[in-house]
Structure 1
Amino acid sequence: MSLWSTPVIEEFLSSWPLFQNTYLVGWSIALLLSLVGVLAVARDQIFIGAAMSQAGALGIALAMWIGAWVAPTTLPWFHSDEFLSAMAVAFSLVAALMTGGWAETDRESHEAITGWVFLLSASLSILIVSHSPHGLEEIHRLLASSIIGATRADVWAFSALAGLTALFLTAAHRRTLLFLMDPAMAAAVGMHTGRWAAIISTLLGLAVGLSIRSSGMLYTFGCLVLPALIAKNLCREVGPMFLVAPLVAILTSIITFVLANHYDYPPAPMTVALLSLLLTLAWLFRRLRRTNGMF
């Protein structure tokens, strides 16, 4: 029986009423992260995504620790999902600014700070919740990347954020490309490169911080860097990457969500696995293109 036979599609459609929020949020997150991921990959700052994802997990762990010490009747907001998301965004933003802005002028310092943020966040997120069974379960869920439980509000939020990000990148397309490709030239023509670095760091931190709460670290980091890396190997210039990366992310996530539903696999790891396979093929394609003198 073919992978795309009628029963496979019918099973997916029959699951739509129950899991439509999960599917829509997963696809919206893939679109959002693939767009901002080009900003990191084009500057060869791939590991920033891992550092921001881990910092977001630290924010969630700290939020749960704070909630455990605050009575629900006194300050109920500290026990809400909104507080967890706010802490994830805040810590991801700080990590993005530290790794992408403060270390902008020194490559060695940039790599050192990125590694420090990742390791510090990874260790503290485990230590903070080590005596809380619920906290450890939540951290493990973030690592395993489960999208189950998304709400209609999440659908609207991520759809709006993806749309606004696409609108911003379209409106500032030429300036964004100039900053990504030649920061020195951008500064020479009057662009405030420090401000642009802060804007890009803020976009990355906001996207990662919001996504990690809903989709976990694996899916967040995978959708952030893998579609952009695939696009980088397929495209000769940075500009087309903003079209190819989202297209790869959306098509791959749709295919894997359908297949994961049919074969009863978690959709997030399956998406990252297929994206990794596609990146391998993209590397081979680029090598063949160079060998044949087509690059």
Structure 2
Amino acid sequence: MTGAESSVLMHTALGSQAWLGPFVEFGFMRHALLGCAMLAVSAAPVGVFLMLRRMSLTGDAMAHAILPGAAIGYLIAGLSLGAMTVGGVVAGLVVAVGSGLVARNTVLREDSSLAALYLLSLALGVLIVSTRGNSVDLLHVLFGSVLALDNAALGLLGGISLVTLVTLRVLYRPLVLECLDPGFLRGTSRWSPVAHYGFLALLVINLVAGFHALGTLMSVGMMVLPSATARFWVRCIGPLLLTAVMLALLACVAGLLISYHADWPTGPVIVLSLGAAYLFSMVFAPHGLLRHQRPASLHLKA
């Protein structure tokens, strides 16, 4: 074997060690990768329908709305997975249903009532955690602890992923129709309320799943950023769903590896990886800025 061949093999081995070594060597990295993968498979498709329904900011509001429920669960049982999950789901559903009732019975529109209720929820949740807990607990609730996912948390994420995928399969056609023409669906099918409230339920449980891994401030990033990035590359809904999931998975792997080697907080790095993909796609993707700035003749040929 020549010196050049030995050098190539050595560089290949070092590269493999840098990419695969953390996941092979450390159990917490494998748990984090599995949890993020399940969250990506579950949350990214929900994010696609959230974007197509023009509700991306609603998702952000709902991510903050689950905080007081999780905080009350924390007060009752500490950092208990079950208590914080139930509390977050209840709080999210209360805010979602409450904003709808306010919009139907007052002069406020649903976006205004949702903004008011989520701000109250966010302030209440931060107050509860900051006065009854400590700074470590507050950071855990706000930013998550993806590197501390245990078997119970992975079981929860897996269950939510399974429920989400099965529900999306059952409600796929009504959800697509509601994105295209909600008035037509309401007038011709009894599936309209099932699709609407079923989707809100999926949104809440996926935000709760993201809360355990990425925290309340970051959980919506796994929904919004992959779907928005995929939109720059494809237009059909099937490829859009698949592309969003693949982008989320790649960002999870990249974020975990970067945070491991750079010793940076994992949740923000994962979201920043998604953000980097979004910015690149916004400029260079087939439906990005450069394509839309070409002359009309070139655009038609492309």
TM-score by length of 1: 0.84
Q: 1:117 to 1:39 in 2, by over 3 A?
A: farther
Q: Which amino acid aligns with 1:252?
A: A
Match of 1:290 in 2: 292
The structural deviation recorded for 1:9 is 2.4
- Specify which of 34, 41, 46 is matched with residue 24 of structure 1: 34
Q: Which amino acid aligns with 2:26?
A: W
- Return the alpha-carbon distance in structure 2 between the equivalents of residues 81 and 138 of structure 1: 13
Q: Does 1:62 align with 2:61?
A: no
Q: State whether residues 147 and 266 of structure 2, in contact with CA within 8 Å, keep that contact through their aligned partners in structure 1.
A: no
Q: How does 1:1-295 map to 2 (within 5 A)?
A: 5-65=15-75, 67=76, 80-99=80-99, 103=103, 109-134=109-134, 136-284=135-283, 285=285, 286-292=288-294, 293=299
Q: State whether residues 35 and 242 of structure 1, in contact with CA within 8 Å, keep that contact through their aligned partners in structure 2.
A: yes
Deviations 1:128-181 (A, max 9, x none): 2343243x5323222233213211122233223223322332343222211111
The structural deviation recorded for 1:212 is 0.8
Q: 1:288 to 1:99 in 2, by over 3 A?
A: farther
Q: 1:105 to 1:122 in 2, by over 3 A?
A: same
Q: Which runs of 5+ in 2 are unaligned?
A: 1-10
Q: 1:259 to 1:214 in 2, by over 3 A?
A: closer
Q: State whether residues 71 and 125 of structure 2, in contact with CA within 8 Å, keep that contact through their aligned partners in structure 1.
A: yes
Q: Using CA pairs below 8 Å that are at least 6 residues apart, which structure has the higher relative contact order? A: 1
SS in 2 for 1:219: coil
Deviations 1:206-264 (A, max 9, x none): 11123313431243111021111112222223343221111110121112212322222
Q: How many residues are matched?
A: 284
Identity of aligned residues (%): 21
Match of 1:73 in 2: none
Q: State whether residues 67 and 126 of structure 2, in contact with CA within 8 Å, keep that contact through their aligned partners in structure 1.
A: no
The structural deviation recorded for 1:102 is 6.7
Q: Which amino acid aligns with 1:168?
A: T
TM-score by length of 2: 0.82
Match of 1:72 in 2: none
Q: 1:24 to 1:216 in 2, by over 3 A?
A: same
Deviations 1:243-294 (A, max 9, x none): 1111110121112212322222222111100111211222223222333335
- Return the alpha-carbon distance in structure 2 between the equivalents of residues 208 and 79 of structure 1: 17
Q: State whether residues 59 and 90 of structure 1, in contact with CA within 8 Å, keep that contact through their aligned partners in structure 2.
A: yes
SS in 2 for 1:265: coil
SS in 2 for 1:217: coil
Cα RMSD, aligned residues only: 2.9
SS in 1 for 2:109: helix
SS in 1 for 2:237: coil
- Return the alpha-carbon distance in structure 1 between the equivalents of residues 94 and 239 of structure 2: 30
- Return the alpha-carbon distance in structure 1 between the equivalents of residues 96 and 146 of structure 2: 24
Match of 2:8 in 1: none
- Return the alpha-carbon distance in structure 2 between the equivalents of residues 243 and 106 of structure 1: 40
Q: State whether residues 256 and 270 of structure 1, in contact with CA within 8 Å, keep that contact through their aligned partners in structure 2.
A: yes
